Amino acid sequence: MTTLTRSDALVLFGVTGDLAHKKIFPALYAMAKRGALKVPVIGVAFPKWSLARLHKSVTDSIQQSGGIDNQHALGHLLFLIKYVSGDYNDPGTFTKIKEALGGARHPAHYLAIPPSLFATVIKGLGAAELADHARVIVEKPFGRDLASACELNKVARSMFPEDSIFRIDHFLGKEAIMNILYFRFANSFLEPIWNRNYVDSVQITLSENFGVENRGEFYESAGCLRDVIQNHMFQVVALLAMEPPAYRGFGAVHSEKAKVFQAMRPLHPDDLVRGQYAGYRKELNVAKNSDVETFCALRLFIDSWRWDGVPWYLRSGKCLTETAHEVLVELKPPPQRLFSDSAPTVGRSNYLRFRLAPDSAVALAARVKRAGKEFVGDQRELYLVEREQPGEKTPYERLLEDAMAGDGALFTREEAVEAAWAVVEPVLKSHHPSFLYKPESWGPEAADVLIARDGHRWLQPTIKREELVVEAS
């Protein structure tokens, strides 16, 4: 099948699950409102639900996610939905799916199911000849270490060509993340300073002010390093660090991102600080002596011509001070310090800041002289904020549409997935114990020590600074 062939059906495995209820149903409803959903949706799951019960689940999901404001679109969505109940280990389940598809010949199979079932379903699709001329959409995590990722890639590639495998990382569907790629290569002023000669360090923070929220069982099997760092945050690093693509096309972008992962230096235990918020062990389905990390901070190096010697600091965690996602690219100070108040001991060096959540913004910090005879000044930000536009596509809406259209630009590929796992592989089992930290803090003090070794400190995500604000129209 060519990438131009649109899927003529969506088979949603795990239709009764949490992901479908929270993210996928609202995305399908939004597509229906825009007239972008015109194919059958075959829901598949083990529970013996009636179609009426599934319809109620869909309706409740949409109501909870923002309300129902278009009864015609809701009716259209419910009309398209069918339901198949069955065990994924039973070949008869896939026979029923085939019957429900009717004349559809190019289905997209969405695996919104536990990772332990990915290989089972993919093999079942192949055995039932449901992989021919089809696509498979796989939710993260794609493997839990290098070996399992390689094995899952092997299974997937045995049934589907690489261009028909869509590995979802919903971060890549966010407008603010897409803007990093655009901002880097649509502006000429950035390239001359975007290298080891002018960049002193890069730090990326992805913080959440809430806990695991009844996901204790999942977190016990994953932890912050697997759940957030290896996928979401590494993808942001790749967009910031990659070389310019040779041509305009997602194949070129994928190639350059994979090279970044391949150039990352494998982590050492001393490069990693793990933390666990006080009270985590009291969460449902969490071991009383659990050492699983709910916070990670790490120091990363990219051994490439552009980035050699530049430290990248990443941190993410639950129950932190606030929910935010920011990138700070700190520049080196001027080679000659003509003014005493511009020394790093007094104020930070110039920096570029990408605010990715809760809103989208780009800020440039520079020192500005105060009025008067003395040559003293303050660091101020030129802050360009992009307000969310009404009707903007959600990440899942955008990714679903792209996958069904065969557009792989916002998805991850085999070589990138395996290269990213290779970076964290040395510390998945060999690491220092977790440090306890207080909820509503910025994590354990050891994270501050990690970055201070190189003479740096974390810049806490906040817009409460001296700013010159420009709203994008």
From residue 350, how far is each of 109, 243, 292, 312, 331 by CA, in Å? 48, 23, 37, 17, 6
Query: Residue range 308-327: average pLDDT?
Result: 96
**For a pLDDT cut of 70, what percent of the chain falls above it?**
94
Residue 211 and residue 279 in contact, taking contact as beta carbons nearer than 8 Å? yes
pLDDT (0 to 100) of residue 382: 85
463 is a domain residue: yes
Residues 246 and 126 in one domain: no
pLDDT over 60 at 471, yes or no:
no
Torsion of CA 162, 163, 165, 170, to 10 degrees: 130
Tell me phi and psi for residue 277, to 5 degrees. Answer: -75, 145
218 is a domain residue: yes
Residues 261 and 126 in one domain: no
pLDDT over 50 at 167, yes or no:
yes
Of 85, 119, 139, the residue at which a domain comes to its end is 139
Reported as a single tens digit per residue, the pLDDT across 427-456 is 999 999 999 999 999 999 999 999 999 999
Residues 193 and 297 in one domain: yes
Helices marked H in 429-463: 445-452
Tell me phi and psi for residue 125, to 5 degrees. Answer: -65, -40
Give residue for tokens 């829901």: 43
Residues 69 and 20 in one domain: yes
We report the CATH number of the domain holding residue 345 as 3.30.360.10
Radius of gyration of the chain (CA): 24
Residues 57 and 190 in one domain: no
Residues 321 and 255 in one domain: yes
C-alpha span between 58 and 12 (Å, rounded): 13
152 is a domain residue: no
154 is a domain residue: no
Helices marked H in 160-233: 175-186, 216-221, 223-224
Residues 348 and 429 in one domain: yes
pLDDT (0 to 100) of residue 299: 98
pLDDT over 60 at 76, yes or no:
yes
pLDDT over 60 at 312, yes or no:
yes
153 is a domain residue: no
pLDDT over 60 at 473, yes or no:
no
Residues 41 and 126 in one domain: yes
Residues 73 and 195 in one domain: no
Q: Helix, strand, or coil here: 5? A: coil
232 is a domain residue: yes
Higher-confidence residue of 464 and 399: namely 399
Residue 201 and residue 313 in contact, taking contact as beta carbons nearer than 8 Å? yes
Q: How far apart are the first and last CA of the chain?
A: 41
Residue 80, domain extent? 9-139
Higher-confidence residue of 338 and 125: namely 125
We report the CATH number of the domain holding residue 33 as 3.40.50.720
Residues 121 and 266 in one domain: no
- Domain total of the chain: 2
446 is a domain residue: yes
Helices marked H in 286-410: 395-405
Residues 253 and 124 in one domain: no
Residues 187-202 as b/e (b if ≥16 CB within 10 A, e otherwise) read: eeeeeeebeeeebbbb
Residues 288 and 366 in one domain: yes
3-state helix, strand, coil in the chain (%, to 5): 40, 20, 40
Beta bridge partners of 437: 277
Beta bridge partners of 9: 107
165 is a domain residue: no
C-alpha span between 174 and 179 (Å, rounded): 9
pTM for this structure? Answer: 0.90
Of 119, 139, 159, the residue at which a domain comes to its end is 139
Catalytic machinery residues: 232
